[in-house]
């Protein structure tokens, strides 16, 4: 171990010309509240941008957890993050009526497959209010993508029809109606009166030339769905469909109606393969590839979706219209208790399963801090980094030292724990305000910096 017998300047000469910097050599771990992302699952994060994309940008409920993680990532690029929540209130937003359901992570989804209450066809990928911003659009057939109608008349903003027309089988909310170079979109559908309401009137009534009706997202795809080569080769037909996921309100991206994901020419056939041999069944393609939604159920009327392609015609009369789903019922479950935090940190308890060196306490109180020390002592290969509680340091004039010392004494002494004595007031660029954040991520980050620039046995001080 390097040391000096008296104060002085220590000069180290290190040849880095043949060395790859070990920027990921010291792994951190933290459990806390976030707005998005799987619950009770270790996720490896390498940058603040990845943190925000995976677990959502911070708000008042999640800022301490978020910036604890973000501050550590200023020093190293290996941080394992566990999102925890109040599981009695946390909910994934779902479609249709009935509100949200709790789907904690992929394992939870697999375990509950087929048991979600009826009426929900899609669910947000993760619990949280952000899921309410989503919309899923499904275009099941060429007719739903674009069709010609010659029996439409207009009176102001209302479409009427010269003949019998089942409007629910031909129009969906948001569909575009195009006539004589003018475009309007559908805002309401009255299946009793058999009328369709537009956002604005056409300049003139639609004449015998009729009008085109287009799916609201038709311009996001190269062409209409039809029959895939796979289905055609085995006598199937009309198996293709388009699926799109949109940030309807802008809560996720900051801009309303931003397209998040889309899948073109996926198949309704449960055994479908693409031209390259990969799985093309829409349920599997979306569940495996989407960062935002889980599939829950086929539409009630589509009884043969999911069947094998051989000899199956996947188009029914109900497939003439697009299916556009909005979400509701999401809940962050942000009021987390000590037990929730402890459940998250216990995912780092087994050193044979997960490699971590630095446990970040974030805003741990005495109960959670003692659990972190217990984990570090049982593993014997990592150190817990703790800070006093906010009330000990901030707006506590004249009593800071006494209360910080009391907190330190309450958690005892350990060779596997380190405690600093401060919170810092830092700028939150996501919300344009300042927030108090504990310093334990920074002290742990100094260990990473020392490890990267020198060696683990050098003092980070």
Q: Summarize pLDDT for 181-190 with one digit per residue, the tens.
A: 899 999 999 9
Q: In sequence order, which residues have a C-beta less than 8 Å from that of residue 171 and are 6 or more positions away?
A: 186, 189, 196, 213, 321
pTM above 0.85, yes or no: yes
H or E stretch covering 265 = strand 258-267
Domain range list for the chain: 28-87+335-453, 94-140+225-328, 142-219
Of 353, 304, 315, 360, the C-alpha closest to 82 is 360
Phi, psi of 72, deg, nearest 5: -65, -40
Tally of CA atoms within 13 A in the half-sphere of 399 that contains its CB: 10
Ramachandran quadrant class, 164 (left: phi over 0; alpha: psi -120 to 50; beta: rest): beta
> pLDDT at position 300, please?
72
> pLDDT at position 4, please?
58
pLDDT tens digit string along 363-410? Answer: 999 999 999 999 999 999 999 999 999 999 999 989 999 999 999 999
When pLDDT is averaged across residues 86-105 and rounded to a whole number, the result is 89
> pLDDT at position 10, please?
63
Report in angstroms the alpha-carbon separations of 430 from 5, 76, 433: 48, 21, 8
Name the class of domain 28-87+335-453: alpha beta
Cβ(211)–Cβ(202) below 8 Å: no
Using CB atoms within 10 A of its CB, is residue 208 exposed (0-12), middle (13-18) or buried (19+)? exposed
> pLDDT at position 120, please?
83
> pLDDT at position 1, please?
46
Nearest 5°: CA angle at 58, between 295 and 251? 50
Q: Is there a common fold for 28-87+335-453 and 142-219? A: no
Cβ(64)–Cβ(116) below 8 Å: no
> pLDDT at position 244, please?
98
When pLDDT is averaged across residues 10-25 and rounded to a whole number, the result is 53
Of 156, 281, 135, 150, the C-alpha closest to 215 is 135
Q: Which CATH number fits domain 142-219: 2.40.30, 1.10.3470, 3.40.50, 2.60.40?
A: 2.40.30
């Amino acid at each position: 171990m390097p040391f000096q017998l008296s104060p002085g300047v220590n000069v180290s000469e290190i040849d880095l010309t043949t060395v790859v910097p070990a920027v990921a050599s010291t792994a951190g771990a933290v459990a806390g509240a976030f707005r998005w992302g799987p619950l009770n699952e270790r996720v490896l994060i390498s940058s603040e941008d990845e943190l925000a994309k995976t677990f959502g940008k911070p708000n008042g409920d999640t800022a301490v957890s978020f910036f604890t993680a973000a501050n550590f990532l200023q020093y190293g690029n290996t941080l394992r993050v566990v999102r925890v929540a109040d599981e009695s209130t946390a909910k994934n937003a779902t479609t249709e009526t009935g509100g949200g359901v709790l789907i904690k992570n992929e394992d939870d989804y697999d375990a509950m497959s087929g048991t979600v209450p009826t009426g929900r066809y899609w669910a947000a990928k993760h619990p949280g209010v952000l899921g309410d911003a989503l919309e899923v659009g499904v275009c099941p057939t060429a007719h739903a993508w674009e069709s010609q109608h010659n029996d439409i008349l207009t009176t102001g903003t209302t479409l009427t029809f010269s003949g019998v027309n089942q409007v629910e089988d031909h129009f969906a909310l948001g569909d575009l109606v195009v006539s004589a170079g003018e475009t309007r979109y559908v805002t309401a559908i009255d299946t009793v009166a058999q009328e369709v309401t537009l956002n604005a009137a056409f300049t003139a009534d639609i004449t015998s030339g009729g009008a085109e009706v287009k799916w609201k997202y038709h311009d996001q795809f190269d062409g209409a769905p039809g029959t895939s080569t796979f289905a055609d080769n085995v006598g199937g037909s009309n198996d293709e469909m388009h699926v799109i996921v949109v940030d309807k309100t802008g809560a996720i991206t900051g801009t309303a109606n931003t397209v998040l994901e889309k899948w073109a020419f996926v198949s309704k056939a449960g055994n479908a393969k693409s031209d390259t041999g990969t799985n093309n069944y829409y349920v599997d393609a979306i569940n495996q590839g989407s960062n935002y939604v889980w599939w829950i159920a086929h539409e009630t009327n589509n009884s043969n979706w999911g069947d094998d392609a051989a000899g199956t015609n996947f188009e029914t009369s109900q497939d003439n219209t697009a299916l556009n789903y909005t979400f509701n019922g999401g809940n962050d479950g942000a009021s987390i208790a000590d037990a929730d935090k402890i459940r998250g940190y216990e995912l780092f308890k087994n050193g044979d399963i997960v490699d971590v060196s630095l446990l970040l306490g974030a805003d741990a109180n005495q109960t959670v801090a003692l659990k972190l020390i217990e984990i570090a002592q049982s593993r014997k290969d990592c150190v817990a980094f703790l800070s006093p509680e906010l009330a000990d340091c901030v707006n506590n004039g004249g009593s800071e030292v006494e209360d910080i010392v009391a907190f330190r004494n309450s958690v005892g002494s350990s060779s596997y724990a380190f405690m600093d004595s401060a919170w810092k007031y830092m700028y939150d660029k996501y919300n344009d305000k300042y927030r108090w954040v504990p310093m334990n991520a920074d002290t742990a980050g100094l260990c990473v910096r020392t490890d990267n620039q020198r060696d683990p046995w050098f003092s980070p001080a």
